[in-house]
Amino acid sequence: AKESGRNAVALFDPQMQSVLRERDALERDLRQALQRREFALHLQPQVDQDGRVCAAEALLRWQHPERGNVPPLNFIRLAEECGLIVPLGDWVLEQVCTWLARCATAGRPLHMAVNVSVRQFREPNFLARVEQILRQSGADPLHLTLEVTESLLIDDAEASVDIMSALAKLGVRFSIDDFGIGYSSLSYLRRLPLREIKIDKSFVQDIVDNADDAALVQTMLSMAKHLRLTVVAEGVETQAQRDLLCQWGCQRLQGYLIDRPSDGALWVERWLAASVA
């Protein structure tokens, strides 16, 4: 009785109440945001060691009429919890595939990377949806990379392997996002049809002054090399970071030093006009 009494107190805590109310309000807005076309996609390029653009990552933006720009971290989780991530994720994929087809048709083919959340991946018709979007858009599956996180492998890893393999057979690439911050054992790296890992920016941040972080990143790079995986370092902000990463053999770089994420449609126009290297 004492326990439940304490929980009851927690539940009616006024501060907790306002947090819950705020969450409800945000969820209500989120549900309408798709119809109201409040979402936008930004693109951020990835370059090789010579500075040539080899891909662009699509990043969601929500322009709320009153709240302004709501950062993804504040709404993606909520969209996952209320299931909205599924139609939202479809919209992202459709937009990106349309751009991919347009770039290829214009003779300026490009790779694009899309973030896929576990919730979306676990939908029973995820595979069919991706196939359908690829077909309808005319995008070449070879140009599409799906970024997934290690959390995909917590439970039901076998189902994930099957879906990934089916898409990999079409030519779709898989990248492990936020590599290294998951809990996970590394054994999955052998079992999955992976092409790439992305080193999280939290590791890249301090490589210049922190010997432990430097060692970790070098270890990831050498492991990836043995497994023949491409490595993208994210969050590259300084030339010193870039120099070290290149020296250690990191093939691809993404971060503010190279370019900030910016309006996707405009970025694609610049790419097509060949004014992006």
How is residue 83 annotated by DSSP? T
Does 94 bind ligand C2E (CB under 6 A)? Our answer is: no
Residues paired with 114 in a beta bridge: 58, 146
261 binds, among ligand C2E, Ca ion, none (CB under 5 to 8 A by kind): ligand C2E
Write the single-letter amino acid at 65.
P
Counting residues that bind ligand C2E (by CB under 6 A) gives 21
* Residue 73 interface partner, choices Ca ion, ligand C2E, none, CB cut-off 5-8 Å depending on type: ligand C2E
Smaller CB distance to Ca ion: residue 92 or 103? 92
The DSSP code for 123 is S
Rounded to whole angstroms, the Cα distance separating 205 from 73 reads 19
E strand or H helix at 237: none
- Quick check: 253 binds ligand C2E (CB under 6 A)? no
User: What are 125-129's contacts with CB under 8 Å, separation 24+?
Assistant: 126/163, 127/163, 127/166, 127/167, 129/90, 129/93
Q: Does 95 help bind ligand C2E (rule: CB under 6 A)?
A: no
State yes or no: residue 76 binds ligand C2E (CB under 6 A).
Answer: yes
Residues at the contact surface with Ca ion, assessed by CB under 5 A: 115, 147, 177-178, 200
**DSSP code of residue 155:** S
Closest CA to 144 of 76, 83, 92, 221: 92
Q: What is the enclosing helix (H) or strand (E) of 234?
A: none
Does residue 92 touch ligand C2E according to CB under 6 A?
Answer: yes
Which residues make beta-bridge pairs with 48?
252
Q: Which does 237 bind (CB under 5 to 8 A by kind): Ca ion, ligand C2E, none?
A: ligand C2E
User: Can residue 90 be called a binding residue for ligand C2E (CB under 6 A)?
Assistant: no
Q: Choose between 58 and 192: whose C-beta lies nearer to ligand C2E.
A: 58
Q: Which two tokens stand for residue 256?
A: 């503010």
Selected from 95, 115, 137, 145, the binder of ligand C2E by CB under 6 A is 115
Residue 44 interacting with ligand C2E (CB under 6 A): yes
Site string for ligand C2E, 222-251 (x = CB under 6 A): ------------xxxx--------------
Per CB under 6 A, the segment of 8-16, 65-73, 185-193, 239-247 that binds ligand C2E is 65-73
Q: How far apart are CA 71 and CA 261, in angstroms?
A: 13
Q: At 46, list the tokens.
A: 């990835």
- Rule CB under 6 A: which residues touch ligand C2E? 44, 58-60, 71-73, 76, 92, 115, 117, 177-178, 201, 234-237, 255-256, 261
